[in-house]
Amino acid sequence: MINTNDILETINMIENENFDVRTITMGISLLDCIDEDIEKACTKVYDKICRYAKDLVKTGEDISIDYGIPIIHKRISVTPIAMLASACQSSKTVRFAQTLDRAAKEVGVNFIGGYTALCHKGFSAGDYALIESIPEALSVTDRVCSSVNIGSTKAGINMDAVAKMGKIIKETAQLTADRDCIGAAKLVVFCNAPEDNPFMAGAFHGVGEPESVINVGVSGPGVVRAALAKAPDCDITDVADIVKKTAFKITRVGQLVACEASKRLCVPFGIVDLSLAPTPAIGDSVAHILEEMGLETCGAHGTTACLALLNDAVKKGGVMASSHVGGLSGAFIPVTEDAGMIAAAESGCLTLTKLEAMTAVCSVGLDMINIPGDTTPEIISGIIADEAAIGMVNSKTTAVRLIPAIGKKAGDYLNFGGLLGGGPVMEVNTASPAKFIGRGGRIPAPIQSLKN
């Protein structure tokens, strides 16, 4: 028989430590839906998504019951819509967003990602049209997520896109100001965007991906924190070992769920994303893991080192547990989605500058950060450029998801509800980078891109 302690440990993880599989994300290629008539293209998109994903939600629920593991989200990612938009003569790119939203509601998924443009080296006509339509698209839809890749280690940074995205983020927040600016919470600007990421808001189905694929994102910050709490006085080597062992167990469940979903849906298994993804629920916080390691508050000096250890140990533990690892894989630090980060930001201990340093060693970037509503587009672009530079030089993914809190200032609050959470508006350095951003052009790819 299976070891009794192992069984009880697992039950305790689920009941008391918020252990869950965060998302089963079905990637669907829409390349065969391209049509120069936008209405025809939209019909094909809607039909294909509904056909492929009709059983996704039910299958997720069935697997959840069979294994007793909560599977929180069932989601869809699609081919970057800019590629479909490129073929259309129409300027109504937003029709694609409305179609995605309708399809998501029909099949019952809570988010659909892929309202995306990849313009790290320059814009195609479709990229430009899609980017221009993002503010409207995110204000007239509920479940569509958008992302724009503006840089990569191989291509450098498209500074025209950086400048453009500063304005687009601000405009998106303005158009949804009556809903706590929630549009901006569904918009991510990437450098080195992964093509198989199952997590929103940045998920899209890359062009190198198969026709359809199942990617799974695991979670479990609460489980890691609880494991560390059982060994309060061990040294840092042991801390890393505990994180690794816990990550292994968490990832095994992700692998099991991914294989099962793949089998039941007859869709190939893609990857397991080994991320520690927090939620605003108490006991599901990445910040609290860092504090369990010995920091008074997340944001204190030492935070970057603790996060580096955590991020690395999660990967080392998880990589052997899954046959294919991909996506973002690491620790997420979305401020408004993490109870510990929210508290640290409220206390003033966690600042934007500290978060920027943390993004150099974690798996994503400046994520879910509320900034004052009067922050200029150029400053937002400056923040994007800094973040993209960290990603480009370190050959890693970095992202920016900022929410300009229209009509609010530092210390005020935004509340999105649900998993997006809410939190205080954080201070931003107001010195202007306008001339730098206004220059346009491209930051050349760094020397480390020349690996051939």
Partner 1 sequence: MKAVITVIGKDTVGILAGVSGECAKHGANVIEVTQSVMQDMFAMIMMVDISKCNVPFKELAEGLNKIGEQFGVKVHVTHEELFNTMYRV
Residue numbers at the binding site for partner 1 (CB under 8 A): 1-4, 6-8, 10-11, 14-15, 62, 65-69, 249, 252-253, 255-256, 320
Radius of gyration of the chain (CA): 21
Cβ nearer to partner 1, comparing 21 with 130? 21
Q: Which two tokens stand for residue 343?
A: 């508290």
Question: Any alpha helices (H) in 17-55, and if so which ranges?
Answer: 38-52
Cβ nearer to partner 1, comparing 154 with 252? 252
Cβ nearer to partner 1, comparing 86 with 246? 246
Query: If you write DSSP's letter for every residue of 303-364 in order, what string do you get?
Result: HHHHHHHHHHHHHHHHHTT-SSB-SS-SB--BGGG-HHHHHHHHHT-S-HHHHHHHHTTSSS
Cβ nearer to partner 1, comparing 6 with 296? 6
Burial grade of 2 (CB within 10 A; 0-12, 13-18, 19 or more): exposed
CB 252 within 8 A of CB 321: yes
What's the chain's length in residues? Answer: 452
Cβ nearer to partner 1, comparing 227 with 428? 227
- Output the smallest distance, CB 275 to partner 1, in A: 18
Short-list 381, 362, 363, 361, CA closest to 371: 381
- Output the smallest distance, CB 384 to partner 1, in A: 40
Spatial separation of the C-alpha atoms in residues 162 and 139, rounded to whole Å: 21
- Output the smallest distance, CB 62 to partner 1, in A: 7
Question: Any alpha helices (H) in 73-185, and if so which ranges?
Answer: 81-87, 94-107, 125-140, 159-175
- Output the smallest distance, CB 119 to partner 1, in A: 41
- Output the smallest distance, CB 95 to partner 1, in A: 39
- Output the smallest distance, CB 419 to partner 1, in A: 24
Cβ nearer to partner 1, comparing 35 with 62? 62
Q: How far is CA 393 from CA 191, 303, 402, 440, in A?
A: 10, 22, 22, 20
Q: What is the DSSP letter of 75?
A: E
- Output the smallest distance, CB 363 to partner 1, in A: 23
- Output the smallest distance, CB 218 to partner 1, in A: 12
One-letter amino acid for residue 45 of the chain: V
Cβ nearer to partner 1, comparing 12 with 347? 12
Spatial separation of the C-alpha atoms in residues 260 and 267, rounded to whole Å: 10
Cβ nearer to partner 1, comparing 7 with 410? 7
Categorise residue 418: left if φ over 0, alpha if ψ from -120 to 50, beta otherwise: left
Cβ nearer to partner 1, comparing 95 with 249? 249
Spatial separation of the C-alpha atoms in residues 385 and 404, rounded to whole Å: 17
3-state secondary structure of 298: coil
- Output the smallest distance, CB 67 to partner 1, in A: 5
